[in-house]
Amino acid sequence: MSAEILARLNPKTSNMDQVGISTAEGLSQTDIAATLARLPKGPELMGWLVAYPDSQKQRTELKLYMLQKITDMVIKGNWGCPEPLFYTNMAIMAISEVISTRICQTCNGRGEVRRLELKVVCHKCEGTGKEVVTQRHRYEVLGISRVAWAIWKERYESVYRMVRGWDSHMKSHVREKLQKHAGA
């Protein structure tokens, strides 16, 4: 629901009935923008990217902010740098994984499959409904070997968790605003 509400900020989304927004009736673009503006910078930038998914400006702003945060992690953890664009690629990959809408082909995005009379958690996506990104894909995107990935996996996961946390914070903040608005 948060993504649909944030779509109201995008002037290309003209008819909100088409995206099924009824609980947010009466929320203006100004209301939604003000909600995002009250967030810390990471979650705010995630919200703007959800609202304007095709905006290179929003992606660049989020990527630059992420690079600042990753640099802090690098300095604190004395990570080193395999190649010049390594951390940029890491930031792009984490953003892409978090905002991905690719659905699991095994369960068609439901997170569960039928086995005879039972519904069971989809083994392919582990119940998320999203296409799973393999470790091999990750180390290939970063341009490192499988052996090097053993070192970088935990570091990447900390970057990914940071972005996932921003996304979660943004969505819960928007949801809370919607609930307050609906109750008013």
* Residues belonging to the chain: 184
Write down the pLDDT at residue 23.
42
Distance CA 157, CA 178 (A): 31
Alpha helices by DSSP H, listed for the chain, are 2-6, 29-37, 41-51, 56-77, 86-99, 135-142, 146-183
Do 41 and 65 contact (CB within 8 A), yes or no? yes
pLDDT of res. 13: 44
Residue closest to 31 by CA, chosen among 5, 11, 50 = 5
Residues 86-124: pLDDT tens digits?
999 999 999 988 887 788 888 988 889 988 888 999 988
pTM of the model: 0.76
Residue 7 confidence (pLDDT): 56
pLDDT at site 16: 35
pLDDT digits (tens, 9 = 90+) for 37-49: 888 999 888 888 8
Distance of CA 5 to the CA centre of its chain: 16
pLDDT at position 36 is 83
- What pLDDT, on a 0 to 100 scale, did the predictor assign at position 25? 57
Distance CA 36, CA 52 (A): 13
DSSP label of 132: P
CA dihedral 71, 73, 74, 77 (to 10 degrees): 160
Name residues of the chain where pLDDT drops below 50.
Answer: 1, 12-23
- Provide the CB-side half-sphere exposure for 121 (13 A, CA): 5
